[in-house]
Amino acid sequence: MLTKKHFGDADRSFGDSAGLFGTLGVEAAQQLAMAAGDIALVIDDTGQIVDVSVSEQEFPEFTDWAGDNWLDTVTIESRAKVMEMLAAARKGETHRWRQVNHPTTDGDVPVRYTIVSLGDGLHIALGRDLRDVARTQQRLLQVQQALERDYMHMRQLEARYRILFERSGEAVLIVEADTHRIREANPAACRLAGARGGTLHGKKLGGLFDSATRDSLTTQLGSALGTDAAAPIPVKLSRGGRKAMVAATGFSQSRRQYLLLVITPADEQVAKDDHSLSDIIETMPDAFVIADGDMRVLRANSAFVEMVDAASEEQLGGRSLTRFLGRPGIDLDLIAGQMEKDGVARNVTSVVRNLSGSAEEPVEISAVATGDDKQGNARHFGFVIRPIGRRLREVAGAGEDLPRSVEELTDLVGRMPLKDIVRESTDLIERLCIEAALLYTSDNRASAAEILGLSRQSLYSKLNRYGLGKQGEETR
């Protein structure tokens, strides 16, 4: 940028101007004018261009300006500057450098001019090309804008992470790796240490922990600097003797190493684990119920609520499980007996009734008991209930409507009246005899009907009933 020291004032003239320039020849004057600027315009008092000295390679559109008015070669915004320079030249004043723009097919060309009087109403306007300067200024502006954007982005990130650091419920410390002095501590860390906010800065980390665990903590901090896989370690806090877990991670900043410590009290860790376990139980596909010692519902997941057609878990709270599970007076007593003997009950076949008692679904029940009444601990029971209706329907679809053995028949005791069990037994014996007859006759239906003492039509009917073959089919 030009200042007043660049102006052509008299106090900056040569000591012997006449001796130096009095004998200046034409060729020397021309070289001096060309060296003083990239463009040299000889103009009269009205601004008419008498002659032009310019590089055709750098300014191809400026070479034919002779005969034009200088005002016509500049942009509208620059005309006022040209008129000011011409007025000052007519008065014999030395005008300061002014930037004007010349319109071209490739855009405006910025040129900085000053006017020197030649006498007899003629003046020479010396111009310096500012395109390189403009490009440099543009690059500097772009760099500055990029830096400002990056700075603003960093400020925003810092603000977000600062809020996260301050609002975090976990105790977080930033510690110098070499001195183990605390650089930053969030409010949760201050509360955990029993200190006022902001008072931990600059203190030694070891003061927060019991002396018995300081050595192991120091070893852990050293390991954290060399690996990202350092496991959390248990420690004891000096204030109140609370147990906690410390996880450390190393990082570098401004050529120094630091440690990020996250301290989680043991009781809070248990609460987090319980919360995660509760989420798993709530979303598991099998029904899950927790009952007290009197078999009353304390907790039920969504699968059980849906299974019994209830509106919500609260609707089931305090209700007896005997209303929903098993054959009255049988299944729950059997399950309780197994748990009393073995501590668990596995895969007990039973049924679940809905809240209104209008429908039931076959299920398998596994259960476990906790606590001990003899020791005064509250007794609780946990039930996992898995529907098996689909499995039974698939077996029925494969032609397995009837029990296949005596053991399966005995499983029906308590689930249906004795007359129904007898009917099931008769059907089982009849089907087994038909299967034996077909095997004996190599699947000859006519011979099988004969040895069974049945008509063909009667045999075909029974085959269809038991799913042993299509009616009317015959091998021979």
**pLDDT tens digit string along 374-384?**
555 677 888 88
Q: Identify the architecture of domain 284-397 in CATH.
A: 2-Layer Sandwich (3.30)
On the question of pLDDT at 395 being above 50, the answer is: no
What is the mean pLDDT of the segment spanning 204-230?
A: 81
- Could you report the per-residue pLDDT of 31-49, keeping only the tens digit for each? 676 667 788 888 888 889 8
- What burial class does residue 362 get, using C-beta atoms within 10 Å of its C-beta: 0-12 exposed, 13-18 middle, 19+ buried? middle
Mean pLDDT of 216-234: 79
Average of per-residue pLDDT across 247-269: 83
Q: Assign domain 406-466 to its CATH architecture.
A: Orthogonal Bundle (1.10)
Dihedral of CA 215/221/225/230: which sign? positive
Q: What mean pLDDT is predicted for residues 73-81? A: 90
Task: Give the pLDDT confidence of 437-469 residue by residue, as tens digits.
Answer: 888 677 888 888 888 888 888 888 888 887 776
Choose the weakest-confidence range: 25-29, 101-105, 240-244, 450-454. 25-29
Q: What's residue 123's pLDDT? A: 86
Q: List, as one string, the DSSP characters of 442-458.
A: TT-HHHHHHHHT--HHH
Q: Read off the pLDDT band of 389 (50, 70, 90).
A: low
Q: What is the CB neighbour count within 10 angstroms for residue 246? A: 24
Measured distance CA(51)–CA(35) in Å, rounded: 16
Please provide the average confidence, as pLDDT, over all residues in the chain. Answer: 79
Arithmetic mean of pLDDT, 181-203 = 86
Q: How confident is the model at residue 86 (pLDDT cuts 50, 70, 90)?
A: confident
Every domain of the chain and the residues it spans: 4-129, 168-270, 284-397, 406-466
What is the C-alpha separation between 389 and 377, in angstroms, rounded? 37
pTM, two decimals, is: 0.38
- Report the candidate in 317, 295, 316 with the shortest Cα–Cα distance to residue 307: 316
**What is the per-residue pLDDT across 115-148, written as a single tens digit (0 to 9) for each?**
888 778 888 888 888 888 888 888 999 999 999 9
CA 463 to chain centroid, in Å, comes to: 63
Q: What is the pLDDT of residue 17?
A: 58
Cβ neighbourhood burial of 376 (10 Å; 0-12, 13-18, 19+): exposed
Model confidence band, residue 397 (pLDDT cutoffs 50, 70, 90): very low
Residue with tokens 């996880």: 247
Evaluate whether 4-129 and 284-397 have a shared fold: yes
Identify the pLDDT of residue 22.
58
How confident is the model at residue 471, as a pLDDT?
43
Residue 27 has pLDDT above 70, yes or no: no
**Under 8 Å between Cβ of 112 and 125:** no
Architecture of domain 168-270: 2-Layer Sandwich (3.30)
Q: What is the CATH number of domain 4-129?
A: 3.30.450.20
Residues 6+ apart with CB under 8 A from 229: none
Alpha-carbon distance values, 106 to 86, 146, 447 (Å): 27, 27, 109
- How large a percentage of the chain has pLDDT more than 70? 79
Question: What's the confidence (pLDDT) of residue 329?
Answer: 63
**361 has a pLDDT exceeding 80:** yes
Amino acid at 177: A
Q: Which residue has the higher pLDDT, 289 or 118?
A: 289
